[in-house]
């Protein structure tokens, strides 16, 4: 991990920018005086000692007595262990505090999230909490990010069907339906999108362009799940027709008894309309 990545990760955990820069400098150059840290980390002299003292206070750095006083970074594994322990303790305290509240939350049927990371977090949540089945359509880049969660669900017996226009890695758990096209070639004219349907009830439909403007809608409305499922079923059917592949078993698993009932109606021989224009006067 590069030095800027270390700083970004620390600030995401609640450290200030100056503290993150100071820790990264100590990690890279070893024991230093406050003046040296300020010079190398580009932290103002007026702020560097405050940042170092706070790092020492939380266990991220250690003070070496002497004239002048020097500072050294705590080993990364030590810092990570401390942070995990504190986070777990704070999470348990929050859990206890919430349990003590006599409240009943109203959860909306649908809500939205913004930003690529949040979209992928919600997608992973739907995958991990699936109980019976998952239907997913997306791009290899995003599906690869869900491999761990998909693997856990597959081991729990969740049936997984994945559709993509791009070639999919065999490392992605589930039953694949793919045109096998090159992802980069498709990116020239199609945008990254992701659809996840979990247990025929919960749905995520989102943009996954790796941009802050990415957003997704997460719904627990059965009708939305049904519409998304029908679209994925249509994509699979069109692919299968191109290759003369029998989809009956797959459609039965995806759509249940709706398939048989529709086949019965279609068997009556009613007249279909194909591109017939109507112009009422």
pLDDT tens digits, 221-232: 999 999 999 999
> Distance (Å, rounded) from C-alpha 25 to C-alpha 27?
5
Q: Tell me, what's the pLDDT at 54?
A: 92
Q: Which of 218, 228, 241 is nearest to 133 (CA)?
A: 228
What number is the average pLDDT over the span 182-191?
94
Sign of CA dihedral 249, 254, 256, 259: negative
Lowest pLDDT segment from 56-70, 203-217, 267-281: 267-281
Cis peptide preceding 68, ω within 30 of 0 = yes
Residue with tokens 């977090």: 121
Supply the CATH classification number for the domain 110-258: 3.30.870.10
194 φ/ψ angles, rounded to the nearest 5 degrees: -140, 130
Contacting residues for 114 by C-beta, under 8 A, at least 6 apart? 212, 213, 214, 215
Would the pTM of this model clear 0.85, i.e. be above it? no
List residues bridging with 113 in a β-sheet: 216
Q: How many CB atoms lie within 10 A of CB 165?
A: 21
pLDDT for 108 beyond 60: yes
How do residues 49-80 score in pLDDT, each as one tens digit?
999 999 999 999 999 988 899 999 999 999 99
What is the band of 104 on the pLDDT scale with cuts at 50, 70, 90? low
pLDDT for 207 beyond 80: yes
How do residues 132-182 score in pLDDT, each as one tens digit?
999 999 999 999 999 999 999 999 999 999 999 999 999 999 999 999 999
Supply the CATH classification number for the domain 3-75: 1.10.10.10
Q: Tell me, what's the pLDDT at 109?
A: 84
Q: Find the helix or strand (DSSP H, E) in which 111 lies.
A: strand 110-114
What number is the average pLDDT over the span 11-30?
92
Share of the chain above pLDDT 70, in %: 93
What number is the average pLDDT over the span 214-240?
93
Domain regions of the chain by residue span: 3-75, 110-258
Q: Tell me, what's the pLDDT at 119?
A: 95
Dig out the tokens for 225 from the structure: 């799940």
Dig out the tokens for 59 from the structure: 């266990």
What is the band of 265 on the pLDDT scale with cuts at 50, 70, 90? low
pLDDT for 102 beyond 90: no
Q: How many residues does the chain have?
A: 281
Q: Tell me, what's the pLDDT at 204?
A: 97
pLDDT for 25 beyond 80: yes
Taking CA atoms, 176 is separated from 23, 60, 72, 240, in Å, by: 45, 46, 51, 12
> Distance (Å, rounded) from C-alpha 17 to C-alpha 43?
9
């Amino acid at each position: 991990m590069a030095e800027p990545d270390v700083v970004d990760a620390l600030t995401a955990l609640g450290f200030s920018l100056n503290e993150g820069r100071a820790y990264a400098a100590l990690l890279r150059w070893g024991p230093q005086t406050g003046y040296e840290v300020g010079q190398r980390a580009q932290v103002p002299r007026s702020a560097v000692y405050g940042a170092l003292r706070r790092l020492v206070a939380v266990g991220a750095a250690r003070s070496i007595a002497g004239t002048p006083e020097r500072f050294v970074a705590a080993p990364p594994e030590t810092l990570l262990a401390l942070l995990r322990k504190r986070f777990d303790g704070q999470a348990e305290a929050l859990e206890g505090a919430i349990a003590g509240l006599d409240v009943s939350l109203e959860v909306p049927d649908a809500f939205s999230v913004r930003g690529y990371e949040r979209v992928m977090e919600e997608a992973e949540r739907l995958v991990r909490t699936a109980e019976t089945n998952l239907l997913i359509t997306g791009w290899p880049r995003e599906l690869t990010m869900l491999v761990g969660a998909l693997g856990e669900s597959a081991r729990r017996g969740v049936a997984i069907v994945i559709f993509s226009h791009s070639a999919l890695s065999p490392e992605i758990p589930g039953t694949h339906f793919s045109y096998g096209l090159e992802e980069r070639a498709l990116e020239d004219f199609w945008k990254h999108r992701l659809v996840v349907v979990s247990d025929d009830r919960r749905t995520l439909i989102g943009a996954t362009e790796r941009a802050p403007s990415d957003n997704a809608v997460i719904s627990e409305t059965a009708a939305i799940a049904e519409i998304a499922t029908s679209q994925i079923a249509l994509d699979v059917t069109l692919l299968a027709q191109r290759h003369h592949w029998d989809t009956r078993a797959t459609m039965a698993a995806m759509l249940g008894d709706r398939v048989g009932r529709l086949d019965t109606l279609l068997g009556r021989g009613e007249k279909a309309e194909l591109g017939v224009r109507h112009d009422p006067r």
